[in-house]
Structure 1
Amino acid sequence: MSAQTVWITGASSGIGEALALQFAKNGDRLVLSARREDELDRVAGRCRDAGLSTDQVLVLPLDVTDWGSLPGKVQAVLDRFGSIDLLVNNAGVSQRSLCKDTDMSVYQKLMDVDVMGQIALTKAVLPHMLERRSGHLAVTSSVAGKVGAPLRTGYCAAKHAVMGFFDALRAEVEGQGVSVSTITPGFIRTDIARNALAGDGSAYGKEDEDIAGGMDVTECAEVVFKGLQAKKREIPVGKGKEMAALWIKRISPEALFRMARARS
């Protein structure tokens, strides 16, 4: 994967930032996207400290819900680097609220950011990859894309949706030289809970015990990086009991449903 052009959304923190550093150490050209340009500049500095030159890092602020801007963003990357070899759709927001307490605007935002934004950017990049008959599309889903959990009805719905979309997309394009990977993290130590949406749309602002006890984000990024290098179709990553839920769902769905109910 040396000397690729790798575009990472949600690159201003968490898994996106940690993954950017892994690719920087590998010598790849990087496109860093998120809404917060100041944080992207900080991450770009860390990537340069990891060995990249200024010319190898493009800070490209982006709101994935602004669909109309996406073709221009794609062209900006192509103008700078000439190709897009790997797109990591990592932008996203979580939720911490019971269904009965959740405003419909919160569900709408979760779908717009976590689902439609990923689809829109992927569609904008896909023609370039199909024309070249080469490329790799990835999305950060979640164990919540396979398993239902309380306080996350909208988040689980969104992550189930992206799993379905990218699995179906893989069936369409894999024979045309384009690989598709779904990344399935469990509990990773990031600010995902603090930044999650409460029922009224405000920031949840608190840490989850599960997240606090999860896998270190750098360790997570190392696993994901290796999985993307190998072009694995699905990349589970985590170390807690939540990872066992992926297997329990297949073997005994009823047992998993009882376990989820016990957490509510």
Structure 2
Amino acid sequence: MQFNKKTIWITGASSGIGKAVALKISEEKSHLILSGRNKEELENVALVCKQNGSKTTVVPFDLGDEKSVEEAANKVFSKDINIDALYHFGGISQRSFVSETPLFVDRRIFEINYFGTIALTKAILPKMIQRGGGHLAVTSSIVGKFGFPYRSSYSASKHALHGFFESLRAENVQNNIKVSIIIPGRIKTNISINAINKEGKTHATMDDGQGNGMSAEKSAEIICKKLKREKKEILVGGKEIIMVYIRRFLPFLYYRLSSRVKPL
């Protein structure tokens, strides 16, 4: 997958990893469709992308609103734009214990992280198949590989994305559909600030782990290199990434550590 002269749709492009990836890809003279809820921030990102030599189309929408997702897809289709790649970075995190979290919070997390993401994928996939292939990438998390305190539905929604996109990959090998699952650890973004708590309100706090994490720009460099290689899984982060391997190879140690780790 080369970015030059390709049309790439990026969700969550107004901030964090999505913004950093959009800016990095824009250096290679591509056409970027930039999506997120904040139109003003998307326009700011688009301006820098244009300065880097790329064409941009700004399409704001809300991942948690199925109608909004559908309207965004139809808007792009109406412009007769062919999508070479769709990279999902939009999503929301959580900061609450299972015993204290009402079901509406769990549903909200799934609507954004899972249903919104697969809704856009389902809209784009048939057209990719018709054109002979394409590249899909979705952002999971290291807690998409294992459970973690204070993240129950966030973790569950990321597990669900693994199941969906791995199934999609297996079904579409013959259609030349490539799938990459991006698995970040602690990246210094506003994800903890924008997370929702047990009341469904904004957490509004930068977690220590997040604040000391890898920069979004550094993570974007790693992610973009591996997207070019169409890697099936892209792990990115610091020493916390080792927990993925502990869970796989030393499960007894994972169970011990996961109940002791400070969740914030």
User: After the TM superposition, which of the residue ranges 186-195 and 80-89 deviates more from structure 2?
Assistant: 80-89
Checking the alignment, whether the CA contact within 8 Å between 2:186 and 2:213 is kept in structure 1 is yes
Which whole-Å CA distance do the structure 2 matches of 1:175 and 1:182 have between them? 19
Other-structure match for 1:257: 255
Unaligned runs of 5+ residues in structure 2 are none
Other-structure match for 1:7: 9
**Could you state the TM-score of these two structures normalised by the residue count of structure 1?**
0.95
1:104-163 superposed Cα distances (whole Å, 9 cap, x missing partner):
111010000001111111000000011112101110001010021111011111111101
Write the mapping of 1:143-222 to structure 2, written as runs, cut at 5 A. Answer: 143-222=142-221
Amino acid at match of 1:123: K
Other-structure match for 1:226: 225
Which whole-Å CA distance do the structure 1 matches of 2:53 and 2:162 have between them? 34
> Deviation at 1:69?
4.2
Which whole-Å CA distance do the structure 2 matches of 1:70 and 1:202 have between them? 23
Other-structure match for 1:44: 46
Which whole-Å CA distance do the structure 1 matches of 2:77 and 2:198 have between them? 40
Which whole-Å CA distance do the structure 2 matches of 1:115 and 1:71 have between them? 15
Alignment length (residue pairs)? 260
Checking the alignment, whether the CA contact within 8 Å between 2:64 and 2:108 is kept in structure 1 is no
Which whole-Å CA distance do the structure 1 matches of 2:44 and 2:135 have between them? 26
Checking the alignment, whether the CA contact within 8 Å between 1:18 and 1:221 is kept in structure 2 is yes
Other-structure match for 1:59: 58
Other-structure match for 1:135: 134
Other-structure match for 2:98: 99
Checking the alignment, whether the CA contact within 8 Å between 1:78 and 1:84 is kept in structure 2 is no
Q: Which runs of 4+ in 1 moved over 3 A?
A: 68-72, 78-81
Other-structure match for 2:19: 17
Q: Classify 1:69/1:213 alpha carbon distance in 2 versus 1 (closer, same or farther; 3 Å).
A: closer
Checking the alignment, whether the CA contact within 8 Å between 2:43 and 2:58 is kept in structure 1 is yes
> Deviation at 1:66?
2.7
Which whole-Å CA distance do the structure 2 matches of 1:25 and 1:116 have between them? 31
Amino acid at match of 1:59: V
**Could you state the TM-score of these two structures normalised by the residue count of structure 2?**
0.95
Checking the alignment, whether the CA contact within 8 Å between 2:180 and 2:234 is kept in structure 1 is yes
Which whole-Å CA distance do the structure 2 matches of 1:78 and 1:230 have between them? 28
- What SS does structure 1 have at the residue aligned with 2:57? strand
> Deviation at 1:71?
4.3
